[in-house]
Chain A
Amino acid sequence: MSLLKTKVSRRKFLGLTSGALASTLVMSNFGVLKKVGASEEKGNSKYGRKFVPSTCAICVNKCGFIAEVDNGVIRKINPNPKFFKSRAMICARGNAGAKVPYDPDRLKKPLIRVGKRGEGKWKEVSWEEAYDYIVDNVVKLVRKYKNRSTIAFASTEGFQEEYFIDLANIIGTTNTVRHPTLCLASNIQGYSSVFGTFPDADIANAEFVIIAGSNRAEAIVTPDTIDMAKNHRKQTLIYIDPRATKTTALADKWYPIKPGTDLALVLAMIHVIIKENLYDKEFVEKYTYGFDKLAEHVKQYTPEWAEKETEIPASEIYWLAREFAKHAPRSIWYPGRRSSFYANDVYYRRACAILNAICGAWDRPGGLIPKSKIPLRKYEIEFPIFDWTRDRIDAGKVPFLGDVLPEEDKTDAGLPTDSCQYLSEKDGSWILFREAILKGVPYPVKGLFVYKQNPVESVPNRKKTLQMLEQMEFICTIDVAMSDTAWYSDVVLPESTYLERWDPVHSLNGVVPIAVMRQPVIEPLFDTKSMFEIMCNLAHKFMERKDFWEDTSEEDLEMFKETCLKRLTKNPVKDFAKYQVSKYPGAFEQLLKEGVFYLSDKPKYGKTLKDGFRFKTRTGKIELYNVKYEEKGLHPLPVYTRHTDPKPGQFRFVVGRHGQFTHASTQNNPWLLEAYGDKENAVWINAKVAAKMGIKAGDKVKVKSPVGEQIVKALPTEYIRPDVVFYVHGFGRLSKGLSNIYRVGASDAEIIVDYMESISGNAAMHETFVTIEKI
């Protein structure tokens, strides 16, 4: 039954000669080491040992670290003891980051495609040539279509993403698409519809925590993961997931819920809490709106009813509800992050927020806390207004929305069926965006810039993403490695890694906000540039093209030159960072020396509970009943819709994270691949089901969905429900530039159907059914 054994015994190798060991096991590694040695020579040759504080970028947490640099080579990345947001730790990925600059798979020079798309034939070019190529193509496209929005920008979060967005503004497109709709857009939407904001969880001070579908042991979020583990002996942690992930190691109880029914559980808990008068009456009266309507609405959702939906016994649901209320306000239904599960995800997240709200577990120690931030200065930049800019391609009425909604959600599920209602202007909706581009409606999008994101592997239904790329006349990708998207691009710009550059200051908002920046730990090893430098250089190149500015006014152009070209692009990031924190004396020096800056290391509670505070909702109160939703024709209260069950022979495919991998970006790191414990991923199938199907551990099976199929190893295990299968994200890759994982294992992007949650625009990742066949 066991999964990957985490320790390999060396005993059986005792008898082997060391020579045999070397040839069978470490040959390939020596190759890597040699290359690393060679590249290290090119690095900063300054002698001596130094310790440089900066900020990790291998995942989204941005932990402070102190790098030990020996003779210009990074020897080790150590935790920063002053960085309390991650409780002075550096995870496996952060540690392995020390090897990122020396990775033989790195992009080292700008590349222009010479063969067919995806053929992998490139020529190395100078930056000048690359810039000219880009500017020529962009100007050509914008003029050809008389539309600046024909150029799209895809990116994911990071300290230099703002410069990529600046570039989008310079080109004058509205079509930026960011990662949230593949991640937590529905979560943000759901919690905000109740509290007017997306809060953090004060895990450090909570007594009773329910975490559903967020695998915090393997998807590290700081400080939550660490506080859950540290509080393990004194906090009750309830874990709800169809898989027994590593988070069960911390859990007091694990409920393998029937997927898609979490909302039924939450509604039944609310039912019990109201019926048994366990809610916080004073809080409800003073701060919330719509309690009576809620009470009436949840009468139908009894634990006995929910038992049939969720397969969690009604007695357990009573227990959960009573314990939750008993420990409130130190109780949390954990918001989680990647929340793109179902087509009605926003309603589920709303219910979770309501549960916390009626128990008064809001803005008090141990509950949900609105995030605080450290205000920073910024440059005000005036981008020109262009005549040829058009509205976002995925905004407004979308005639084909039904194509990306699951069958049962097209009619009376209470979801918008003609437009994505709450699209954030900058983020867009990945699924809808791609669909609109493929249909060419309302206009053609023919150019694409990609920064740090890898849509080929991160957006469900990989074939469609490849088709979208295929119909582009120009694609430019900026990255540190040859991602699958870079592989299908026309020009690839190598970015300096996070260890080789300055990054501006960012406030990491949370229960206790903290500010960080990046300073170079080593000089760039290769002919790479930061996103900032790339943006600046392109901005000036575009200025040289008179034919690029005819649809804007002289006045606008002057403002742009003053604010952007003279200020933003003429000041190095280091100076900007200094300016950002200039209202706090000594802050910049502290950032340089200690790697962190903060105003206080203690949480502040209760600012939303002060008299006269208005929540950012229509009524200014915590909206149990959402007034705006009612106006828009949506359910103002969370309504449960039953999801289709897999048919006999089918399984529901679920996605999930692994502690060694950040999305699809670290699988190619040999140290992390090794820590993962295997060279490829494997599909989890319930052991009994596998036995019945004659599938043994290691057998190759075909996993087939309506949109694709993948061949992958089988991993029969007791750690998963019989009706669900799973494999780790980020394998089965298409880029030959990712040498350790190219075509190894299976890609989930290839098989997940591209359904969407139409309130938030989030991808619905758990609506896919697959069949498994032994081959």
Chain B
Amino acid sequence: MSKKKWAIVLDDSKCIDCKACTVACKMENHVPLGMYFYRNWVAERTKESEFPMIKRMFRPSQCQQCENPPCVHVCPTRASYQTEDGVVLVDHEKCILCKYCMTACPYDARYVNEEIEAIDKCTFCYHRLAEGRIPACVETCPPKVRVFGDLNDPDSEVSKLVKMHDTEVLKPEKGTKPKLIYIKR
């Protein structure tokens, strides 16, 4: 059996900043209330422009599930680790809250979860994958901005989307090789 390579391909030109993905993630993963606690987010990218030349643009994002994850490299206790199928996770038991990973992550994807006293971040809803379900943020999105799937499977929707469109990743210069892949506008 070949290994999976889970990824999310996004067409954020469809995003309406409805926050279904952020609320769904909080519900699914017991992320505490509070504006500094989140596993995913929607950033407004509207170019600074003057009335009436306005075009609003939104960019939803989360942990990039880097193939080359600096957060894992710097973690002194190996609490941060990468699974076989390339998902970066945090073992909450091992985490000592040194926050090296938070500093190392170029995407500001991690936060301190007070309730579990550990660093927390997007897991690609790993518990759902085990049941054959897709991540909560992917599933709930009204226009389905995110598509989840296996990049190692050439017939998966994600592989097709990547083949079909021009794509980009965030901060490629960091060499992290994100598995959050954006379709260009």
Contact = CB atoms under 8 A, between A and B. Distances in A.
Given A3-B44, A230-B14, A14 B142 contact: no
Given A90-B140, A256-B52, A26 B32 contact: yes
Contacts of A29: 32-34
Contacts of B136: 76, 78
B173 interface: no
Contact of B17 (A77, A249, A722): A249
Residue from A22, A33, A249, A675 with most neighbouring chain B CB atoms (10 Å): A249
Contacts of A670: 33
A532 B53 CA distance: 52
A689 to B, nearest CB: 10
Contacts of A5: 43-44
A92 B15 contact: no
Contact of B35 (A8, A230, A244): A8
Contact of A671 (B17, B23, B49): B23
B51 A246 contact: no
B76 to A, nearest CB: 16
Contact of B111 (A3, A10, A225, A233): A10
Contacts of B157: none
A324 interface: no
A89 B13 CA distance: 18
A510 B36 CA distance: 41
A25 B44 contact: no
Interface string A219-260: 010000110011011000000000010111111001110000
B170 to A, nearest CB: 13
B143 interface: yes
B57 A718 contact: no
Interface string B1-36: 000000000000111111110111011100011111
B112 interface: yes
B51 A91 contact: no
A152 B104 CA distance: 64
Nearest to A87: B142
A672 interface: yes
A75 B20 CA distance: 16
Residue from A9, A94, A95, A677 with most neighbouring chain B CB atoms (10 Å): A95
Interface string B132-149: 000010011111100000
Contacts of B34: 25-26, 29, 674
Given A2-B44, A230-B14, A670-B33, A10 B108 contact: yes
Interface residues of A, number: 71
A722 B17 CA distance: 25
A660 interface: yes
A7 interface: yes
A13 interface: yes
Contact of B13 (A75, A232, A659, A674): A232
A8 B42 CA distance: 10
A8 B41 CA distance: 9
Nearest to B42: A6
B18 A718 contact: no
Contacts of A87: 142-144
A38 interface: no
Contacts of B15: 229, 249
Contacts of A98: 27
Interface stretch (B66-74, B80-88, B95-103, B174-182): B95-103
Contacts of B49: 718
Contact of A89 (B20, B32, B102): B20
A686 interface: yes
A43 B14 CA distance: 40
Contacts of B171: none
A674 B49 CA distance: 27
Interface of A: 1-3, 5-11, 13-14, 18, 21-22, 25-26, 29, 32-33, 75-79, 86-87, 89-92, 94-96, 98-99, 217-218, 220, 225-226, 229-230, 232-233, 244, 246-251, 254-256, 659-660, 670-672, 674-675, 677, 686-688, 718-722
6 contacts: A22-B114, A94-B20, A220-B18, A671-B27, A674-B34, A688-B51
Interface of B: 13-20, 22-24, 26-28, 32-37, 41-44, 46, 48-52, 54-58, 97, 99, 102-103, 108, 111-112, 114, 117, 136, 139-144
Given A86-B142, A225-B142, 19 more contacts: A1-B50, A2-B44, A2-B48, A6-B41, A6-B43, A8-B36, A26-B32, A89-B141, A89-B143, A92-B24, A230-B143, A246-B58, A248-B54, A249-B15, A250-B14, A254-B55, A256-B51, A718-B49, A721-B51
